[in-house]
Structure 1
Amino acid sequence: MNPSLPLQQKERIFVLDALRGVALCGILILNMPFFSRAFQVDFDFRILNDASTPLDVSSWMTTLFVLGGSFRGMFSMLFGAGALLIISRLEKQSGIEAADIYYRRLIWLLVFGLVNAYVLLWPGDILYHYAICGLFLFPLRKSSVRVLVLLLVFFISINMFKSYLKFTDNIAKRDNGLAALALKEQKKTLTEEQDGDLKKWEETLDKQKVENIRKDVEKENKAMLQSYPKVWKHLSPLNAKFESSKFYQSIFFDVMVCVLLGMILYRTGILTGDKSTLFYFWLMLVGYGVGIGEGVLVGIAWYNAGLDFYKFIELWPVHVSLYDIHRASVSLGHIGLIMLLYKSGFFHGFLKLYANVGQMAFTNYLSQSMICTLIFYGYGFGKFGQIGRSEQWYYIIAIWVFQIIFSNVWLRYFLFGPLEWVWRSLTYWKKQPMLRSKAMELVLT
């Protein structure tokens, strides 16, 4: 195959599945620290002093600042691209019924998201968020690339503006608090407003004390190492927050940035391999260069600031969040690299392993919740809070190996992953074929 030619339809599906499989595996890098330990420990290595070795520091830097949320971003991009692909096929097959089927599919996705959060007890669920954001995609199915780009810029601008407001609020809190403290030390009477400013600043300083954060971590460990009903009760308020106020304040905008970018990449043929090898080489080079470069610089600034926000802002000159730019850039780097591997013609066997994982992404995503909660929560093997930062990689790699083997063996005999089959059957309200056979494959092709 000439690597500069567009891919055929079946090959395009293969590439999308391979990208989705890599993204699904990569998501576990982001989620494992929260499955296995208290959330405060993920960023703040001072709590457990778990950045005392080069390996731990490298793990901290890689997870938070090099890879960041890039695989989750990539997964969200593929959700956006997949929505366009599904809607296009549905409209060709069923016309006006496409909207009915598409929205039924999203409703069941929302239900599975609730199950992931409230039954499997994973507060980091993204299925619920995808279902809500997916409601807005059908009206955008025929929008031009220009319109999608404008919407993308709009959502990124909102995120940046909100980060700027948060930054200025924190600065004002410090300045007002220090001013009130200076007046108090001079034995001057504080106004009610100044007294409030001083209390807010003292509360902020108190929350930042390592010994106080350590107490919170100990409480979290104790809560997560109990029976299922007690863990459910502990996590229920957090699940409710992530699927209500937190979602509408930040998560919605976060997801929509990546979903819209995925729609753009699909519409322009970037996700389907229509571009040249040289294009993907530059996509990888620029994506990794910009994203990883920015991430490493931010990580170094945080490390040199001793994780103190107010010292960090003195070292880091940009006073708005560049997270969307960082995540998108690294995600594009991943896409460029995978496309280069595919178009070279030498890595089809390797990518096939991940394509099968991607074809069963729904099953594999939920099974990560099942496996990790069983390993770490108190009603399972109770490993919560008991593994170090770099040790998390052993669990990540072990689950990767299991899911790659399981997916490739399962799809030898079945047309869909088990939960994909359930989801498909519920969407069409009809039992779907499951066993793989030549006749059935011809029908579904």
Structure 2
Amino acid sequence: MSATTAPASTRLVTLDALRGFAVMGILAMNIVAFAMPEMAYLSPKAFGGTSPSDIAAWGFGFLLVDGKMRGLFSILFGASMLLIVDRADARGNNPRSVHYRRMFWLAVFGLCHYFFIWWGDILFLYAAVGCVAFGFRRWEARRLIKWALGLYTLGVVLTSLFFGAQLAVASAADDPTSPFVEAGREVRAEYAKIDREAIDEVALYRGGYAAIVDERLGNAVNPFIGVIMMMLETLPMMMLGMALFRNGFLTGDWTTDAYRRIVWRWLPPGTVLTLIVAWLQWRSGFDYIVAVNAFLAWAAPGRLMMTIAYAALLLLLVRRYADSGGIARVAAAGRTAFSNYLGTSIVMTTIFYGYGLDLFGQVDRWTLYLFCIGMWAVMLLWSKPWLDRFAYGPLEWLWRTLARGSLQPMRRVPGFQ
């Protein structure tokens, strides 16, 4: 075997296919944030309008994809992390060294992504949280699940208290007899800036590349704030991924009936809870403070239920069509998820930002999903032919090379996956 030929490796098709669905779903979640001001993701009132069509498109995203695909991606990150650590241990390598080198370079990729491509990066978050998650690698599945649910609940409670307090204080703004009237008016005034900020964002992202990078450099603290804000959502999801890998759920070892029970146990209540939260936002007239509370706190329980149900539902789909060409292409997109994730950011910002096609703020919500479908087609079309020839996606190869400190073989050995 030549030095430029990659050795054989064992793939778990279930993990690859789930990761493929997740990276495609991440785009469905992010497409509004690529093409509209940031707050438009949370509220149609912030940009685009509140016509029945706009509200329906927002509701579609909020109900079906908002947070669920990120949750699934986090679960799969935890599972993959454990798989890589276990394999390093089995080969006699130092798993701690292997893991932290990977997380260091992932953090570098994440910061480059944030500063030079798109503000919505999750790679730096995953690298930071992944460093913490490593400490739980030896826990058995039941303990991981208990602690994950406990930490997730703690995160929901703390977030509800913090942003709920803002909502409570803001409600006093119109009551002159309230001792909190001035504080309430200050909170309302801060949220009233969102409309002006949306206009400024449109001007920024329809401008030149240098101005966009300068704005990011001026907000260099944002990735670190994101870690603090998202720690108690992302860490529990990674821990669940580790547990569901340990107990065979993610590797497809459960029975078909067991997966179906998970779907029926968690999808209906999760959907109902999410619909209630959507209704509360609509009833408020998409008030910005309500939208923030809904996104960060109220939707979290239903989001978790639906994420687990989605995983079970997709595993049933993968099991049923495991030998189909479609699942093979989805699995290939999952094996090149890192390249697809960053590649999507490059393509979408080029389409929507001023240094590209300059469509930022020019496309309505429903039409954005056509761009999403087009990018899905690109992912499915390029990933498998690439992997038929090469062992890794281009950025997967670069990450592996940097983490190992030596040039990694790229060509695929015929007959191996």
Which position in structure 1 is the counterpart of 2:90? 92
Q: CA deviation at 1:40?
A: 2.1
1:264 aligns with 2:264: no
Provide Cα deviations, 1:361-406, integer angstroms capped at 9, x if missing partner.
1111110111111111122221111111111101111111011101
Partner of 2:155: 159
Alignment correspondent of 1:226: 207
1:322-401 counterparts in 2 under 5 A? Answer: 322-345=298-321, 348-401=324-377
- Name stretches of at least 5 consecutive residues in structure 2 with no aligned partner: 1-8
* Distance in 1, Cα, partners of 2:116 & 2:209: 10
Q: Superposition pairs for residues 109-188 of structure 1, below 5 Å?
A: 109-120=106-117, 122-174=118-170, 177-179=173-175, 181-182=176-177
Any conservation in 2 of the 1:414–1:436 contact (CA below 8 Å)? yes
Q: Distance in 2 between matches of 1:361 and 1:387?
A: 27
Give the aligned residue type for 2:209.
Y
The answer (yes or no) to whether the contact 2:269–2:302 under 8 Å persists in 1 is: yes
Task: Please name the residue that 1:199 is paired with.
Answer: 182
Q: In 2, distance between residues paired with 1:137 and 1:217?
A: 36
The aligned counterpart of 1:188 is: none
For 1:390 and 1:252, how far apart are their aligned partners in 2?
Answer: 32
Structure 2 Cα separation of the partners of residues 168 and 427 of structure 1: 42
Give the TM-score of the pair, scaled to structure 1: 0.85
- In the alignment, what sits opposite 1:38? 37
Per the alignment, residue 423 of structure 1 pairs with: 399
Give the CA deviation at 1:102.
Answer: 1.8
Distance 1:151 1:19, change over 3 A: same
Report the CA distance shift for 1:355/1:368 in structure 2 as closer, same or farther (over 3 A). Answer: same
Identify the residue that residue 65 of structure 2 maps to in structure 1: 67
Label 1:348 to 1:322 Cα distance change in 2 as closer, same or farther (>3 A): farther
Bigger Rg over Cα? 1
CA separation in 2, counterparts of 1:66 and 1:338? Answer: 14
| Cα distance between partner residues in 2 of 1:350 and 1:205 | 50
Letter in 2 for 1:339: L
1:244-323 to 2 correspondences below 5 Å: 244-248=224-228, 250-308=229-287, 321-323=297-299
Contact 2:39 2:194 in 1 (8 A): yes
Q: Tell me the secondary structure at the aligned position of residue 315 of structure 2.
A: helix
- 3-state secondary structure, aligned to 1:379: coil
Amino acid in structure 2 at the alignment position of 1:147: R
Distance 1:15 1:322 in 2: 31
- Structure 1 residue 168, shift from structure 2 partner: 4.5
Structure 1: unaligned runs, 5 residues or longer = 1-8, 184-193
Measure, in 2, the Cα distance between the counterparts of 1:246 and 1:13: 31
3-state SS, counterpart of residue 380 of structure 1: coil
Q: Kindly provide the amino acid, as one letter, of the partner of residue 211 in structure 2.
A: K
> Which AA in structure 2 matches 1:216?
E
Q: Which is worse superposed, 19-28 or 276-285?
A: 276-285
Q: What is aligned with 2:104?
A: 107
Deviation at 1:199, TM superposition (A): 3.1
1:374·1:381 contact (CA, 8 Å) conserved in 2? yes
Alignment RMSD: 2.6
Give, as a single letter, the amino acid of the residue that structure 2 aligns with 1:342.
V
Q: How many angstroms apart in 2 are the aligned matches of 1:381 and 1:309? A: 30
- Secondary structure, in 3 states, of the residue corresponding to 1:155? helix
Distance (whole Å) between structure 2 residues aligned to residue 215 and residue 309 of structure 1:
13
Q: Secondary structure at the match of 1:391?
A: helix
Q: Secondary structure at the match of 2:248?
A: coil
The letter of the residue matching 1:363 is: S
Shift of 1:43: 2.7
Q: Distance in 1 between matches of 2:225 and 2:274?
A: 28
Q: Percent identity?
A: 28
Q: Distance in 1 between matches of 2:260 and 2:101?
A: 39
Q: Is this contact kept in 2: 1:79–1:262, CA < 8 A?
A: yes
Q: CA deviation at 1:177?
A: 4.2
- C-alpha distance 168-360 of structure 1, shift in aligned 2 (>3 A): closer
Kept in 2, the 8 Å contact 1:113–1:125? The answer is yes
* Matches of 1:349 and 1:287, distance apart in 2: 30
